[in-house]
């Protein structure tokens, strides 16, 4: 009687080289299996063939999108990394659905969503939209995609090179690991800056350390926006951020 009440249960095993590599894609695999469950709820006719077809493309659909984006954009990947890090909206034009999905997935994975406070992320998205009034536009109408209204900095350029170095081995798991390291470094830099700002509230030398850190980290333009949003309701820290903004405006553009 229990077997009649409860639907059949299945175990799906993904074989992808190493457990550690697949662990990087845990959320994507969970979502992929949810799609499989939705397919199994349809009519029985042709169900087996439909499921086989769905599962046969799991590696291409789940693991390979980041690799495809890196190979598509090459040096221009720096613009995509900057957009993801700064929460700048991205609009993809004249692209097939697969490429558009790949780009959106890359942006979702590369963003700091879930790693910084949700309220900060929402405020930052609003601030970036109000400040720029424009989305980054990617025109895929030709073999070489073109970017419009795009930004970059030294941090993103250095990580772009790390991605390109990974193309030699052709291991799709490596690109995801590089992307996770990219986010980890961005979070570490953000936390270091916030620590310096707390010290600078009482120490002028710490203020100078903040300034030098922003100049040398390669992503001072973005980090300053993040901490500005986070410290909006904290008067002393807000004053420190305002001073840093003035310093950075006077700094040479290449310092970023």
What is the pLDDT, as a whole number, of residue 151?
94
Q: pTM of this prediction?
A: 0.85
Element of type H or E holding 146: strand 146-148
* DSSP-derived secondary structure letter, 59: I
- Same domain assignment for residues 184 and 219: yes
Residue 108 to residue 151: CA distance in whole angstroms: 18
Average pLDDT over residues 144-165: 96
Last residue of a domain, one of 15, 33, 63: 63
- Same domain assignment for residues 34 and 101: no
Taking alpha carbons only, the member of 174, 171, 183, 190 closest to residue 109 is 183
- Same domain assignment for residues 121 and 240: yes
Residue 23 to residue 62: CA distance in whole angstroms: 12
- Same domain assignment for residues 97 and 196: yes
- Same domain assignment for residues 83 and 146: yes
- Same domain assignment for residues 47 and 80: no
Provide the H-helix boundaries in the chain.
2-5, 19-23, 26-40, 47-56, 58, 65-73, 77-86, 97-110, 118-132, 154-166, 172-200, 204-217, 220-230, 235-250
- Same domain assignment for residues 35 and 111: no
* DSSP-derived secondary structure letter, 143: S
57 lies in which domain range?
2-63
Q: pLDDT band at 254, cuts 50/70/90?
A: very low
Answer whether residue 101 shows pLDDT above 60: yes
Answer whether residue 62 shows pLDDT above 90: yes
Helix axes 204-217, 235-250, angle to 10 degrees: 50
What is the pLDDT, as a whole number, of residue 179?
96
pLDDT tens per residue across span 71-82: 999 999 999 999
- Same domain assignment for residues 58 and 185: no
Q: Which residue has the higher pLDDT, 125 or 39?
A: 39
Average pLDDT over residues 92-117: 90
Domain count, the chain: 2
pLDDT tens per residue across span 18-60: 667 889 999 999 999 998 887 776 656 667 788 888 899 999 9
pLDDT tens per residue across span 191-244: 999 999 999 988 888 999 999 999 999 999 999 988 888 877 677 888 899 999
């Amino acid at each position: 009687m229990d077997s009649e009440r409860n639907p059949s249960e299945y175990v799906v095993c993904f074989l992808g080289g190493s457990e550690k590599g697949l662990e990087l894609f845990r959320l994507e695999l969970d979502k992929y299996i949810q799609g499989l469950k939705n397919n199994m709820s349809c009519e029985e006719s042709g169900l087996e063939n439909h499921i086989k077809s769905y599962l046969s493309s799991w590696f291409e659909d789940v693991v390979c999108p980041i690799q495809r984006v890196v190979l598509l954009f090459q040096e221009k990947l720096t613009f995509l990394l900057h957009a993801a890090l700064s929460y700048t909206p991205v609009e993809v034009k004249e692209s097939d659905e697969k490429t558009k999905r790949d780009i959106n997935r890359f942006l979702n994975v590369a963003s700091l969503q879930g790693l910084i406070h949700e309220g900060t992320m929402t405020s930052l998205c609003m601030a970036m939209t109000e400040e720029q009034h424009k989305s980054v536009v990617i025109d895929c109408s030709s073999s070489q995609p073109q970017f419009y209204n795009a930004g970059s900095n030294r941090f993103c350029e250095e990580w772009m090179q790390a991605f390109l170095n990974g193309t030699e081995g052709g291991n799709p798991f490596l690109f995801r690991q590089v992307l996770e390291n990219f986010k980890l470094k961005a979070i570490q830099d953000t936390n270091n800056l916030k620590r310096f700002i707390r010290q600078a509230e009482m120490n002028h030398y710490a203020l100078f350390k903040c300034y030098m850190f922003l100049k040398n980290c390669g992503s001072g333009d973005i980090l300053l926006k993040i901490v500005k949003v986070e410290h909006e309701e904290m008067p002393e820290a807000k004053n420190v951020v305002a001073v840093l903004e003035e310093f950075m405006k006077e700094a040479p553009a290449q310092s970023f």
